[in-house]
């Protein structure tokens, strides 16, 4: 089977064909940097990471853009509340975002444009929309006239009766499923404080939706392969992105729209406004490992709702332990006799993994392939050489999953306990015990170096 994705635009699973041979261009709506991202946000970013990693595993060159929304209603509101500049305020949360992203082993994408650095592109789009009569000017800003865009509603499938002159909304976020004319450019309002640009459109600032049209087209061109985000962005944000971009370029904006379902708490969407959220620090502070958090947020198919519980996180912690123990076991295999079936076992596991992942990133199937492989190897008699092959396959799977090898991994507590016990044994001059503990540490994949400053432990 070939790679296919469920496309929100057509509400169908479709075979994936890249637009430019061998290359996939992706745009992911990034964070609004006005607070810590919660783990619901992280679920959607881990989904886009999985997508990116799998496309790379399949051999595509990936050009991936994730914007940083560093000017909008929320960033302005909260920086003012704190009495610091918008720049300082958003830089703080941008840094936290990258810290968490690294902790969760999310790969860095190619570009992280900031909205405040693409104002000229937003002005250019707005100007052309004005010239074409698709946008109009009022006292409080420039608005997109949704009745002028034929395809308005094609992503969200909302039927806008008649599409008469719409009601205007200036706010970035609105729920109402009606054809509102939305703000491309917001004329200066004193509530914006010192956040404004003096431009040919007048003094003011951009609306949120135009930011993503400008940044995606700037880095990926007027038509590109994949656009992702959480399902709450389908309307109005992505609907408006299409209207702006296609109104401007008269070309199809995006070929495949992929949307991730929400992370829930007690059946409700995790969200800042409801207050029912956890940030990553909260969860790690309870002693959970970032690997388990990544696993938990990744292991349910991205188009299914996922209810967050600490019991489920415990189970993910166990799954991670199984992986770790399996790798440790492989490293310790000493057998000399090669198993004639090893190559076919590896091929079958790879085929099963790819068949599942090709099917709209069916992660449960993908993980089942990995677990089956582990239990088969556990049952088989294998040689040192076979073990190495199995280990390499696990590392290949991990290029997609990102749960085995973390970049700046801390030494696990169990290992540190062994190191401390060994230090004590050395102090007590109990060399036999000290050597035994050194071996135990080594069997777990770590080595200790004894130096004048004390003993240091690192990965073997």
Interface with ligand AMP, residue 113, by CB under 6 A? no
Location of structure tokens 């009745």: 147
Out of 43, 53, 170, 205, the residue judged to bind ligand AMP by CB under 6 A: 43
Per CB under 6 A, the segment of 124-132, 157-165, 219-227, 258-266 that binds ligand AMP is: 258-266
**Contact between 270 and ligand AMP per CB under 6 A:** yes
Q: Which is nearer to Zn ion, 259 or 422 (CB)?
A: 259
Q: Which two tokens stand for residue 121?
A: 């592109």
Nearer to Zn ion, 68 or 390 (CB): 68
CB-CB neighbours of 322 under 10 Å: 12
Chain Cα centroid distance, residue 221 = 22
Q: For Zn ion, which is the closer residue by CB, 232 or 338? A: 232
Query: Exactly one of 24, 129, 220, 233 binds ligand AMP (CB under 6 A); which one?
Result: 233
Tell how strand 23-28 and strand 224-230 pair up. parallel
Which residue in 41, 75, 126, 316 binds ligand AMP (CB under 6 A)? 41
Which residues in 44-63 contact ligand AMP (CB under 6 A)? 44
Residue 128 DSSP code: H
In the complex, the residues that contact Zn ion under the rule CB under 5 A are 29, 212
Q: Which of 166, 207, 230, 290 is close enough to bind ligand AMP by CB under 6 A?
A: 230
Alpha helices in 238-341 (DSSP H): 239-249, 280-285, 290-298, 310-332
Q: Which entry of Zn ion, ligand AMP, none binds 204, CB below 5 to 8 A by partner kind?
A: none
C-alpha to C-alpha distance for 228 and 13, rounded to whole angstroms = 15
Q: Which does 31 bind (CB under 5 to 8 A by kind): ligand AMP, Zn ion, none?
A: ligand AMP
Binders of ligand AMP among residues 156 to 215 (CB under 6 A) are none
Select 172 or 386, whichever has its Cβ closest to ligand AMP: 172
The SS3 of residue 452 is coil
Q: Is 236 near ligand AMP (CB under 6 A)?
A: no
Provide the 8-state DSSP code for 116. Answer: G
DSSP string, 344-410: HHHHHHHHHHHHHHHBT--HHHHHHHHHHHHHHHHHS---HHHHHHHHHHHHHHHHHH--S--TTPP
Binding site for ligand AMP (CB under 6 A): 29, 31-32, 40-41, 43-44, 229-230, 232-233, 260, 262-263, 269-271
């Amino acid at each position: 089977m070939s790679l296919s994705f469920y496309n929100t635009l057509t509400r169908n699973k479709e075979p994936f064909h890249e637009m430019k041979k061998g290359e996939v261009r992706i745009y992911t709506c990034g964070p609004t940097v006005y607070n810590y991202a919660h783990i619901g946000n992280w679920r959607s970013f881990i989904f886009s990471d999985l997508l990116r990693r799998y496309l790379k595993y399949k051999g595509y060159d990936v050009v991936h853009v994730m914007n940083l929304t560093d000017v909008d209603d929320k960033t302005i509101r909260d920086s003012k509340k704190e009495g610091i500049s918008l720049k300082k305020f958003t830089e703080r949360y941008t840094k936290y975002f990258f810290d968490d992203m690294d902790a969760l082993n999310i790969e860095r994408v190619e570009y992280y444009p900031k909205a405040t650095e693409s104002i000229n592109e937003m002005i250019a789009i707005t100007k052309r929309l004005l010239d074409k009569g698709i946008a109009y000017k009022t006292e409080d800003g420039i608005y997109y006239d949704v009745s002028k865009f034929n395809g308005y509603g094609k992503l969200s499938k909302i039927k806008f009766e008649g599409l008469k002159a719409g009601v205007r909304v200036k706010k970035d976020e609105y729920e109402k499923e009606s054809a509102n004319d939305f703000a491309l450019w917001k004329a200066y309002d004193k509530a914006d404080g010192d956040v404004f640009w003096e431009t040919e459109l007048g003094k003011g600032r951009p609306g949120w939706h135009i930011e993503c049209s400008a940044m995606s087209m700037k880095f990926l061109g007027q038509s590109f392969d994949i656009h992702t985000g959480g399902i709450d962005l389908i309307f109005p944000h992505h609907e408006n992105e299409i209207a702006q971009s296609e109104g401007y370029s008269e070309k199809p904006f995006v070929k495949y729209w992929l949307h991730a379902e929400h992370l829930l708490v007690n059946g409700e969407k995790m969200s800042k406004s409801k207050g029912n959220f956890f940030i990553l620090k909260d969860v790690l502070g309870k002693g959970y490992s970032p690997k388990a958090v990544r696993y938990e947020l990744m292991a349910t198919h991205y188009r299914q709702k996922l209810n967050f519980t600490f019991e489920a996180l415990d189970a993910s912690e166990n799954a991670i332990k199984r992986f770790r123990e399996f790798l440790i076991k492989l490293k310790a295999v000493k057998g000399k006799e090669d198993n004639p079936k090893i190559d076919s076992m590896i091929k079958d596991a790879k085929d099963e993994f790819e068949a599942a992942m090709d099917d709209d990133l069916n992660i449960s199937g993908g993980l089942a392939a990995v677990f089956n492989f582990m239990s088969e190897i556990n049952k088989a008699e294998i040689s040192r050489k076979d073990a190495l092959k199995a280990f390499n396959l696990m590392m290949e799977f991990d290029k997609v999953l990102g749960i085995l090898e973390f970049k700046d991994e801390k030494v696990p507590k169990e290992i540190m306990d062994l190191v401390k016990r060994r230090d004590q044994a050395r102090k007590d001059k109990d060399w036999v015990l000290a050597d035994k503990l050194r071996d135990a540490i080594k069997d777990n994949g770590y080595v200790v170096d004894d130096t004048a400053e004390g003993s240091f432990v690192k990965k073997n």
